[in-house]
């Protein structure tokens, strides 16, 4: 129940109904037909598309689901706006036993979850339906669900563009880093070594500056971790962090935040971090990794690999949990725009990264809505997801950003109320860590040779594919194409490394084969489309290999 409405559960004609009751004017709406919810359900499920991702707002008393379970369809995602609509045991059983039905209450759904469903069914249309009678209920809640679906779709486009823009760097940077990362200390050596300790996870949001006095006050009692760009913000205030975390592969990350920076402390780096940062750092390293990086993992299997995340701060939080910290304070972790800005003073600002206009609004730590961007919202949802996986008895996390976005499961505390007692233990000393050696160039040369050989194989297979008559594809032709594609994917470097960075292309092709062509009779047109899609992906692989091998950064290794 909320202040504006309540949901009542009633029984009429031996059937259970939920009734939406608008308290202001005592307007009551049954969420199912009282005449015949069964006939209503039969009519409604005709709108469910068998070849699309169906997103249904509202479940009512579950009558339509009992009819739907016997139908043939790809997937139905149901979002219920009213948490007082309690599912009965038979409805729960249907959802539990079905691979193609998912259910969420509005309070649990996020655009990140929607983004995951849209990506999972990439290449298929989405069909958004509102359960009968729900349209007459709370328009604010219905519009909120539609907005979340829209935001999920936008996030997918952002992620797709990110993959497209960075896919070359995600091969070349970890490749170049092998010169050094093969000798770096592994984060695994320090698992749980910081149990009982307190950390400050410092990000570069606008509120960093106002918390500088607090950081100076407690710096001898806590371990300070600067997340990427926060390093300059701290150094400009004469604060040297104990550790700096780096994962971003872009050259902008180096030029804006690390070039000519006087820091010789410990870097905790992912294998995908920009190679200039690693090459030019004079201090020690600890190697962590991301599961999207198959190159570093191939050579350093013992190094812990964390789920890939869009934010170095989320990467850092995973590291802090792995190291065993008992308490973490988030500083500068606004995840929102403060006066149109998302960088603090003292942090080098990229071009066009200040004076933003709000793209959406989220719940803030101050109790009101705060403005943010889709990019920052993706970071927020990633925080929510990771925090949700952590054992709250093992680690306590607090956010000091008064005007920042609210992270689910993280308590906001005013900085004035924070008291930290005792000191910090010196657990990792520089003498036990490895510095750069730069002696593994032969490994890079061998890897580049492997890429070159893979390119030859791709060119050879594509030449055979292009000999086909694309306008008339027989069953035997299709079998030959599938055999060639299987031969291509048997190349480990293609399957495990390059295709991993073409996830949107691969997912779209997989969906087309799984959902579009799974039928008893496959026509000539179906076979033509299959072959065109496979050739399109092979051409994309060929282009990808060419871009990597022609990049100036690896010319010296050829």
Residue 345: pLDDT band (50, 70, 90) is low
Structure token pair of residue 424:
């910090």
Residue 20 has pLDDT above 80, yes or no: no
Of 142, 228, 160, 156, give the one whose Cα is nearest residue 374: 156
Report the alpha-carbon distance of residue 299 to residue 443 in Å, rounded.
Answer: 10
Contact 150, 55 (CB under 8 A): no
Residue 385 burial class via C-beta count within 10 angstroms: exposed 0-12, middle 13-18, buried 19 and up: middle
pLDDT in tens, 129-138: 998 888 888 8
CA 81 to mean position of chain CA atoms: 25
Residue 307 has pLDDT above 70, yes or no: yes
* Residue 187 and residue 56 share a domain: no
Report the alpha-carbon distance of residue 341 to residue 486 in Å, rounded.
Answer: 49
What average pLDDT is seen over the chain? 87
Is residue 144 in some structural domain?
Answer: no
Contact 152, 114 (CB under 8 A): yes
Choose the final residue of a domain: 383, 417, 451: 417
pLDDT for res 462: 94
pLDDT for res 357: 75
Least confident piece of the model among 93-97, 106-110, 157-161, 549-553:
157-161
* Residue 331 and residue 191 share a domain: yes
Report the alpha-carbon distance of residue 335 to residue 375 in Å, rounded.
Answer: 9
Domain carrying residue 32:
5-137
Residue 349: pLDDT band (50, 70, 90) is low
pLDDT for res 505: 82
pLDDT in tens, 498-552: 988 888 888 888 877 777 665 555 677 888 888 898 999 999 999 999 999 999 9
Q: What is the largest CA-CA distance in the chain?
A: 81
Choose the final residue of a domain: 119, 137, 155: 137
pLDDT for res 86: 87
* Residue 402 and residue 506 share a domain: no
Is residue 145 in some structural domain?
Answer: no
Percent of the chain with pLDDT over 70: 93
**Higher-confidence residue: 3 or 467?**
467
Is residue 158 in some structural domain?
Answer: no
Residue 43 has pLDDT above 60, yes or no: yes
* Residue 205 and residue 84 share a domain: no
Contact 421, 222 (CB under 8 A): no
Report the alpha-carbon distance of residue 81 to residue 109 in Å, rounded.
Answer: 10
* Residue 412 and residue 277 share a domain: yes
What are phi and psi for residue 521, nearest 5 degrees? -110, 120
Domain with residue 127: its CATH number is 3.40.50
**Pairing, β 185-186 against β 5-12:** unpaired
* Residue 201 and residue 316 share a domain: yes
**What integer is the mean pLDDT of 236-254?**
93
Is residue 424 in some structural domain?
Answer: no
Residue 169: pLDDT band (50, 70, 90) is very high
* Residue 362 and residue 244 share a domain: yes
* Residue 328 and residue 391 share a domain: yes
Choose the final residue of a domain: 360, 382, 417: 417
* Residue 250 and residue 122 share a domain: no
Residue 406 burial class via C-beta count within 10 angstroms: exposed 0-12, middle 13-18, buried 19 and up: buried
Is residue 462 in some structural domain?
Answer: yes
Is residue 69 in some structural domain?
Answer: yes
Query: Model pTM?
Result: 0.82
Is residue 432 in some structural domain?
Answer: no
**Higher-confidence residue: 240 or 441?**
240
**What integer is the mean pLDDT of 550-558?**
91
Of 275, 308, 276, 278, give the one whose Cα is nearest residue 291: 308
Instruction: Determine the length of the chain.
Output: 558
pLDDT in tens, 361-391: 888 999 999 888 888 888 898 898 899 889 9
**What integer is the mean pLDDT of 61-82?**
88
Is residue 264 in some structural domain?
Answer: yes
The total domain count for the chain is 3
* Residue 355 and residue 213 share a domain: yes
pLDDT for res 25: 76
Which of 23-27, 37-41, 84-88, 211-215 is predicted most confidently?
211-215
Residue 325: pLDDT band (50, 70, 90) is very high
Alpha helices in 300-373 (DSSP H): 312-323
* Residue 527 and residue 449 share a domain: yes
pLDDT for res 438: 64
Distances in whole angstroms, Cα of residue 168 to Cα of each of 63, 506, 546: 50, 17, 10
pLDDT for res 406: 94
pLDDT in tens, 417-464: 998 887 888 888 766 766 666 677 889 999 999 999 999 999 999 999
* Residue 199 and residue 346 share a domain: yes
pLDDT for res 160: 78
Element (H, E) at 443: helix 441-465
């Amino acid at each position: 129940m909320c202040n504006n409405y309540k949901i009542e559960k009633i029984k009429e004609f031996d059937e259970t109904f939920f009734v939406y009751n608008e308290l202001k004017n005592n307007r009551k709406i049954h969420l199912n037909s009282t005449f015949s919810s069964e006939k209503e359900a039969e009519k409604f499920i005709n709108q469910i598309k068998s070849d699309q991702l169906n997103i249904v707002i509202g479940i009512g008393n579950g009558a339509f689901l009992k009819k739907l379970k016997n139908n043939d369809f790809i997937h139905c995602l149901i979002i219920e706006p009213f948490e007082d609509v309690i599912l009965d045991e038979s409805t729960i059983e249907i959802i539990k036993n079905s691979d193609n039905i998912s259910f969420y209450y509005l309070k649990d759904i996020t655009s990140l979850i929607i983004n995951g469903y849209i990506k999972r069914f990439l290449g298929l249309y989405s069909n958004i339906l509102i359960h009968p009678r729900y349209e007459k209920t709370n328009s604010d809640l219905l519009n909120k669900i539609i907005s979340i679906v829209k935001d999920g779709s936008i996030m997918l486009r952002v992620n797709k563009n990110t993959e497209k823009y960075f896919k070359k760097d995600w091969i070349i940077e970890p490749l170049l880093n092998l010169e050094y990362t093969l000798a770096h200390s592994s984060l695994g050596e320090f698992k749980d070594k910081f149990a009982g300790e307190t950390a400050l996870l410092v990000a570069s949001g606008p509120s960093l500056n106002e918390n500088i006095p607090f950081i100076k006050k407690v710096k001898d009692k806590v371990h300070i971790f600067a997340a990427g760009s926060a390093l300059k913000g701290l150094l400009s205030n004469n604060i040297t962090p104990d550790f700096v975390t780096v994962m971003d592969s872009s050259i902008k990350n180096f030029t804006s935040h690390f070039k000519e920076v006087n820091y010789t402390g410990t870097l905790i780096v992912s294998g995908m971090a920009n190679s200039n940062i690693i090459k030019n750092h004079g201090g020690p390293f600890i190697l962590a990794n991301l599961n999207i990086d198959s190159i570093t993992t191939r050579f350093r299997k013992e190094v812990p690999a964390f789920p890939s995340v869009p934010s170095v701060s989320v990467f850092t939080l995973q590291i802090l949990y792995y190291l065993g910290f008992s308490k973490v304070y988030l500083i500068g972790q606004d995840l929102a725009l403060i006066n149109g800005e998302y960088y603090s003073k003292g942090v080098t600002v990229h071009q066009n990264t200040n004076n933003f206009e709000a793209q959406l609004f989220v719940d803030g730590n101050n109790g009101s809505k705060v403005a943010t961007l889709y990019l920052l919202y993706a970071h927020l949802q990633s925080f929510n997801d990771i925090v949700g996986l952590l054992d709250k008895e093992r680690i306590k996390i607090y956010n000091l950003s008064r005007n920042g976005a609210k992270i689910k499961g993280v308590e906001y505390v005013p900085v004035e109320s924070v008291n930290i007692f005792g000191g910090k233990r010196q657990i990792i000393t520089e003498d036990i860590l490895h510095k750069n050696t730069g002696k593994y160039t032969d490994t890079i040369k061998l890897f580049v040779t492997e890429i070159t050989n893979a390119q030859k194989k791709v060119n050879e297979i594509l030449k055979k594919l292009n000999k086909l008559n694309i306008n008339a594809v027989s069953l035997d032709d299709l079998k030959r194409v599938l055999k060639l594609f299987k031969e291509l994917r048997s190349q480990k470097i293609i399957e495990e490394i390059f295709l991993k960075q073409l996830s949107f292309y691969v997912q779209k092709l997989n969906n087309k084969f799984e959902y579009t062509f799974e039928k008893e009779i496959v026509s000539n047109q179906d076979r033509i489309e299959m072959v065109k899609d496979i050739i399109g992906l092979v051409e994309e692989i060929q282009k990808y290999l060419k871009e990597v091998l022609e990049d100036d950064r690896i010319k010296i290794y050829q």
